[in-house]
């Protein structure tokens, strides 16, 4: 997930990006937010989670800590986004890594796949912002359930990509602007992917296997 905003050029590999705003929904073990905070200490990161216990675990066992540019908030992610819209807040990067108990497609949670929520989310993103979402389904999930999970994202966002490594889950990357799929654009993003993976030292983590594909509308 951490590679997504760099691939889409929302965050730079070569500058501090001071003042840019990042929202993470779903604190989990703090891998995304603390990893990004280490790379970009001048970027303001807000991590929102509905579960107080998840925050305590992340702080106690996974090294998550708040600072001037890292803020943890216990609140429902949907409500946080609605409030952000009413306050006129804008985020350059939004990461969703939150699940529920829906058997076939636990991640992202159902409320975070609704068209209403996603339209509100798009309104709190900057024009060149990046949305990155951790998608996880059960083994053997049928194709219709998979497409159902993606459909609203693709209805709301003009361009989405599938970023896949070796695991069963994949990362969805969406942007609020149109990117035409051409031979040139596919090559451009392939080169950008390779550059980012190398710069962030992620190539070895994924054992050299990482694919970025345009997603066609379902």
Angle 194-200-204 (CA atoms, 0-180°, nearest 5)? 75
pLDDT of residue 23: 98
pLDDT of residue 166: 61
Do residues 163 and 3 lie in contact, with contact meaning Cβ atoms separated by under 8 Å? yes
Which residue in the list 42, 49, 97, 194 is annotated as catalytic?
A: 97
Instruction: Write out the chain's pLDDT in tens, 218 residues.
Output: 999 999 999 999 999 999 999 999 998 777 899 999 999 999 999 999 999 998 898 888 888 999 999 999 999 999 999 999 999 999 999 999 987 776 567 788 889 999 999 999 999 999 999 999 998 766 565 556 667 778 999 999 999 999 987 666 789 999 999 999 999 999 999 999 999 999 998 877 665 668 899 987 65
DSSP assignment of 64-120 equals: ---BTTEEEEES-HHHHHHHHHHHT--EEEEEE----S-SS--BS-GGGS-HHHHHH
Residue spans per domain, the chain: 4-214
What is the pairing mode between strands 125-135 and 159-164?
Answer: unpaired
Is residue 112 packed enough to be buried (19+ CB in 10 Å), middle (13-18) or exposed (0-12)?
A: buried
Angle 57-135-12 (CA atoms, 0-180°, nearest 5)? 80
Q: Whole-angstrom Cα distance, residue 123 to residue 133? A: 17
Whether 97 is catalytic is yes
**What is the third-level CATH fold of 4-214?**
Rossmann fold (3.40.50)
Q: Whole-angstrom Cα distance, residue 144 to residue 161? A: 19
Write the CB contacts of 141 (distance below 8 Å, at least 6 apart in sequence): 104, 105
Write the CB contacts of 89 (distance below 8 Å, at least 6 apart in sequence): 21, 124
Do residues 178 and 158 lie in contact, with contact meaning Cβ atoms separated by under 8 Å? yes
Q: Whole-angstrom Cα distance, residue 23 to residue 152? A: 20
Q: Whole-angstrom Cα distance, residue 111 to residue 197? A: 31
Do residues 168 and 105 lie in contact, with contact meaning Cβ atoms separated by under 8 Å? no
pLDDT of residue 169: 75
């Amino acid at each position: 997930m951490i590679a997504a905003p760099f691939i889409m050029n929302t965050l730079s590999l070569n500058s501090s990006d001071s003042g840019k705003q990042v929202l993470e929904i779903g604190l989990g073990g703090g891998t995304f937010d603390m990893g990004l905070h280490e790379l970009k200490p001048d970027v303001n990161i807000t991590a929102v989670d509905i579960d107080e216990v998840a925050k305590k675990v992340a702080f106690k066992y996974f090294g998550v800590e708040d600072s001037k540019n890292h803020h943890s908030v216990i609140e429902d992610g949907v409500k946080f986004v609605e409030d952000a819209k009413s306050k006129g807040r804008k985020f350059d990067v939004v990461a969703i890594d939150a699940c529920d108990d829906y058997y076939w497609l636990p991640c992202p949670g159902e409320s975070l796949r609704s068209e209403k929520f996603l339209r509100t989310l798009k309104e709190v993103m900057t024009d060149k912002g990046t949305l990155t979402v951790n998608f996880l389904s059960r083994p053997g999930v049928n194709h219709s359930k998979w497409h159902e999970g993606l459909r609203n994202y693709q209805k709301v966002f003009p361009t989405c990509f599938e970023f896949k490594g070796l695991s069963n889950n994949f990362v969805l990357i969406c942007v609020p602007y149109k990117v035409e799929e051409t031979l040139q654009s596919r090559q451009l993003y392939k080169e950008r992917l390779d550059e980012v993976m190398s710069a962030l030292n992620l190539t070895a983590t994924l054992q050299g296997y990482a694919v970025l594909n345009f997603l066609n509308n379902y």
